[in-house]
Amino acid sequence: MELVLALGIGVFTASGVWLILRPRTFQLVLGLCLMSYAVNLFIYAMGRLRVDAPPLVGSEAVADAAIYTDPLPQALVLTAIVISFAMTALLLVVLIAARGLTGTDHVDGEDEE
Amino acid sequence: MNGWAGHLIVVPILLPLIASAIMLLLDERQRRAKNAISLVTHVALLGVAVTLMVQTVQLGFSGNSATRVYLIGDWAAPYGIVLVADWLSSLMLLLASILGLASFIYAVARWDRAGPRFQVLHLLQMMGLNGAFLTGDLFNLFVFFEILLAASYGLMLHGSGTKRVTIGMHYVAINVATSLLFLIGVGLIYGIAGTLNMADLATIILGTRGTELTLLQSGFAVLGLAFLIKAGMWPVGFWLPKTYAAAVPPAAALFSILSKVGIYALLRVYLLLFTSEVGWPANFGGEWLLYGGIATLIYGTLGVLAARTLSRVAGYCVIISSGTLLGTIGASDGAVLGGALFYLVSSTLGIGAFYLLLELVERRETESSVRTIVEPVFEDEYTGARPEENADEVRIVIPATIAILGGGFMFCALLLSGLPPLSGFIAKFAIIHGLLNLEPTIAPAIGLLVALMIISGMATLVATTRAGIDLLWTPSDRPPPPLRLAEAVPVGLLLLVCLGLMVFAGPTMRYMERTGVSLQDRQGYINAVLGADRRTTEPRTALP
**Whole-angstrom distance, CA of residue B82 vs CA of residue B288:** 31
When pLDDT is cut at 50, 70 and 90, the band that residue B19 belongs to is very high
Phi and psi (nearest 5°) for B531?
-95, 10
Instruction: Give B87-131 pLDDT, tens digit per residue.
Output: 999 999 999 999 999 999 998 887 877 777 888 999 999 999 999
Average pLDDT over residues B74-99: 89
Average pLDDT over residues B464-477: 76
pLDDT of residue B387: 43
Note whether B90 and B519 are within 8 A (CB): no
Average pLDDT over residues A27-32: 93
Instruction: Give A98-112 pLDDT, tens digit per residue.
Output: 888 888 888 887 776
CB contact under 8 A, A87 and B184: no
Q: Pick A80 or A112 by higher pLDDT.
A: A80
**Whole-angstrom distance, CA of residue B350 vs CA of residue B41:** 24
Query: Does B489 have pLDDT greater than 60?
Result: yes
Name the residue facing B169 among A47, A48, A95 (closest C-beta). Answer: A95
pLDDT of residue B392: 44
CB contact under 8 A, A90 and B150: yes
Among residues of chain B, what percentage have pLDDT more than 70? Answer: 87
**Domain-wise residue ranges, chain A:** 2-102
CB contact under 8 A, B190 and A36: no
| Amino acid letter, residue B233 | M
Chain A interface disruption, residue of B164, B169, B181, B189, most A CBs within 10 A:
B169
Instruction: Give B385-427 pLDDT, tens digit per residue.
Output: 444 444 444 444 556 777 788 888 888 888 888 888 788 898 9
When pLDDT is cut at 50, 70 and 90, the band that residue B298 belongs to is very high
CB contact under 8 A, A47 and B162: no
Range with the lowest mean pLDDT among B191-205, B361-375, B399-413? B361-375
Query: Does B472 have pLDDT greater than 70?
Result: yes
Chain A residues closer than 8 Å to B243 by CB: none
Chain A residues closer than 8 Å to B173 by CB: 20, 28, 32, 91, 107
pLDDT of residue A113: 59
Query: Does B157 have pLDDT greater than 80?
Result: yes
Q: Pick B171 or A61 by higher pLDDT.
A: B171
| Structure letter (DSSP) for residue B415 | H
pLDDT of residue B440: 75
**Domain-wise residue ranges, chain B:** 285-367+396-503
Average pLDDT over residues B162-167: 88
Chain B interface disruption, residue of A96, A101, A104, most B CBs within 10 A:
A101
**Whole-angstrom distance, CA of residue B326 vs CA of residue B228:** 9
- Supply the Cα-derived Rg of chain B in whole angstroms: 23
Query: Does B475 have pLDDT greater than 80?
Result: no
Q: Pick B246 or A11 by higher pLDDT.
A: A11
Range with the lowest mean pLDDT among A2-11, A81-90, B17-26, B110-119? B110-119
Query: Does B367 have pLDDT greater than 60?
Result: no
Query: Does B471 have pLDDT greater than 80?
Result: no
pLDDT of residue B341: 92
Residue B239's Cβ-count burial label (10 Å; 0-12, 13-18, 19+) is: middle
pLDDT of residue B275: 64
Name the residue facing A94 among B139, B157, B161 (closest C-beta). Answer: B157
pLDDT of residue B173: 92
Query: Does A70 have pLDDT greater than 90?
Result: no
| Closest-approach residue (CA) in chain B for A43 | B187
pLDDT of residue B368: 43
Query: Does B382 have pLDDT greater than 70?
Result: no
Q: Which residues pair with B72 in a beta bridge?
A: B81
Q: In B63-180, which ranges are E strands?
A: 68-72, 81-85
Sign of torsion, CA A58 A60 A62 A66? negative
Mean pLDDT value across chain B: 83
pLDDT of residue B376: 42
CA B431 to chain CA mean position, Å: 19
Q: B379-384: which pairs have CB atoms within 8 A and are 24 or more residues apart?
A: B383/B110
**Whole-angstrom distance, CA of residue B325 vs CA of residue B458:** 17
Q: Is the bond leading into B421 cis (omega within 30 degrees of zero)?
A: yes
| Cβ within 8 Å of residue A40, ≥6 positions away | A77, A80, A81, A84
CA–CA min distance B75, chain A (Å): 15
**Whole-angstrom distance, CA of residue B56 vs CA of residue B68:** 8
Question: Three-class SS of residue B71?
Answer: strand
Query: Does B280 have pLDDT greater than 80?
Result: no
Helix (H) or strand (E) holding B400: helix B400-417
Name the residue facing B191 among A25, A46, A102 (closest C-beta). Answer: A46
Average pLDDT over residues B177-197: 91
Note whether B178 and B230 are within 8 A (CB): yes
When pLDDT is cut at 50, 70 and 90, the band that residue B369 belongs to is very low
Query: Does B380 have pLDDT greater than 50?
Result: no
Instruction: Give B524-543 pLDDT, tens digit per residue.
Output: 888 888 887 777 655 555 44
Average pLDDT over residues B12-39: 89
Instruction: Give B229-278 pLDDT, tens digit per residue.
Output: 998 888 888 889 889 988 888 899 999 999 899 999 988 888 887 765 55
Instruction: Give B313-355 pLDDT, tens digit per residue.
Output: 899 999 999 999 999 888 876 678 888 999 999 999 999 999 9
User: Does residue A20 sit at the B interface (CB-CB below 8 Å)?
Assistant: yes
